[in-house]
Structure 1
Amino acid sequence: MKSVKSGRDGRTRIIDGALRRFSQDGVSATTLASLREESGVSVGSFYHHFASKEHVFGVLYAEILTMYQDAFLGELMRHDDARAGIEAIVTFHMTWCGDHPDRARLLISERPPRREEPGGAEVGDARRAFFRKVAEWWRPHMKAGLLQPVPPTMCYVLWLGPAQEMCRLWFAGAHHPTAEEIAALCGAAWHSLRQPSAELT
């Protein structure tokens, strides 16, 4: 039992250390030696859990993405009203990024692993499942003439693109978003995604 616990602790220490290093230095600038130093594990312990730095990143990215998507869907499904749902997600996104800055930096700044790379298959599967669930919420509002019929990529860009850019400024220390600015981002998302026939107010 002790060896199982130690194994779990070693993996957790590596993942936690990688989160700190990747978010501060970026994945490309982080070395395997700095990962081991940050997590305080031996070479043998590291390779017991992970094959490479890229393997750590793939696992970490997939875990963060799942955490974000689960929280996103939990918030979205609370809203039956189209505008309320669109605006709530913008607020959720800004709040989540503020509550989890290290994780948010990775999602915003780093390229997701490709399907052939470690973690890539998990990330791809998670994205498809996520967009299916968002589409299930979206479809009735689209049929009701409230939301536009937009493909997933454009939906993401119109919905959260401006909020993402605000987060980039925030994380760079260039600007701290105000409540009024977040409200403006919510309104901008609604006006970008609503159908022209939807209520303007």
Structure 2
Amino acid sequence: METSDLLERCYPGRRAELKRDIFRKALKLFNEQGIEATTIDMIRAECDTSVGAIYHHFGNKEGLVAALYFTALDDQARLRDSYMADAATTRAGVHALVYSYVDWVDSQPEWARFQYHARFAVTKGPFKDELATRNKARNKQLMEWLFDSARRAEMGDIPAELILSLIIGQADSYCRAWLSGRVKGSPKAYREMLAEAAWRSVAATETQ
């Protein structure tokens, strides 16, 4: 899955062509120059369009950063939900969460890199309330799955706020190291080990 495929999947059709082009060029500049250093005029020059066109679609640079961030989260969640739909057991569900996370980062490294860099700016910026609302809607089914009473019994006595960190934390740490070049092996090559480590982190002793 290339960047263009992700954008065409999220914003299909000819009418969204300019929006996709702005996204594509902005993503490249944000990753190469940094979010703070990149200006709307730099993006305009890359897109060969007007500043007004960019403001029309996104309002300002913060709006463009947030829109890119939301697009990444939505695409990541789409893959997650498709993997989770096939999970027949709690263990399989935990594995599916890790597989989808690792596979998305592996297939979309530029989006994942941006996502990590933009997280603080969006969570602390003017779009933080919209992010919270979107996250709640996006993760509604996941939360229901995680906190099903039978499933919670299989996971042991773990604080609710800690579960996702235990499941995704090790994969997230390795993916960050891979994206920064600190390690060479693709995260996908270690998906089985990362998934099983996640299961051991949350499973009640008798279910391991």
Q: Is the 8 A contact 1:97 1:167 kept in 2?
A: yes
| Gaps in structure 2 of 5+ consecutive residues | 1-12
In the superposition, relative to structure 1, how do residues 115 and 180 fare at CA in structure 2: closer, same or farther (>3 Å)? closer
Q: Is the 8 A contact 2:40 2:51 kept in 1?
A: no
Structure 1 length normalisation: TM-score?
A: 0.82
Query: Partner of 1:157 in structure 2?
Result: 165
Query: Partner of 1:130 in structure 2?
Result: 138
Between structures 1 and 2, the one with greater helix share: 2
Matches within 5 A, 1:103-142: 103-111=111-119, 113-114=122-123, 117-118=126-127, 120-138=128-146, 139-142=148-151
Matches within 5 A, 1:40-55: 40-55=48-63
Q: Is the 8 A contact 1:13 1:39 kept in 2?
A: yes
Deviation at 1:27, TM superposition (A): 1.5
Higher-Rg member (1/2): 1
Q: Deviations over 1:126-161 (max 9, x none)?
A: 211233211222215435x21246456422211111
Pairwise CA RMSD: 2.5
Matches within 5 A, 1:1-201: 8-111=16-119, 113-114=122-123, 117-118=126-127, 120-138=128-146, 139-143=148-152, 145-148=153-156, 150=158, 153-177=161-185, 181-198=190-207, 200=208
> 1:150 & 1:30 partners in 2: Cα distance?
42
Task: Select between 145-154 and 187-196 the one with higher mean Cα deviation.
Answer: 145-154
Give the secondary structure class of the aligned counterpart of 1:49: helix
Deviation at 1:124, TM superposition (A): 1.4
Q: Is the 8 A contact 2:83 2:97 kept in 1?
A: yes
> 1:148 & 1:105 partners in 2: Cα distance?
33
Deviation at 1:183, TM superposition (A): 2.1
> 2:163 & 2:46 partners in 1: Cα distance?
38
> 1:69 & 1:135 partners in 2: Cα distance?
13
Task: Select between 156-165 and 107-116 the one with higher mean Cα deviation.
Answer: 107-116
> 1:41 & 1:32 partners in 2: Cα distance?
11
Give the secondary structure class of the aligned counterpart of 1:146: helix
| Gaps in structure 1 of 5+ consecutive residues | none
> 1:142 & 1:11 partners in 2: Cα distance?
42
Structure 2 length normalisation: TM-score?
A: 0.80
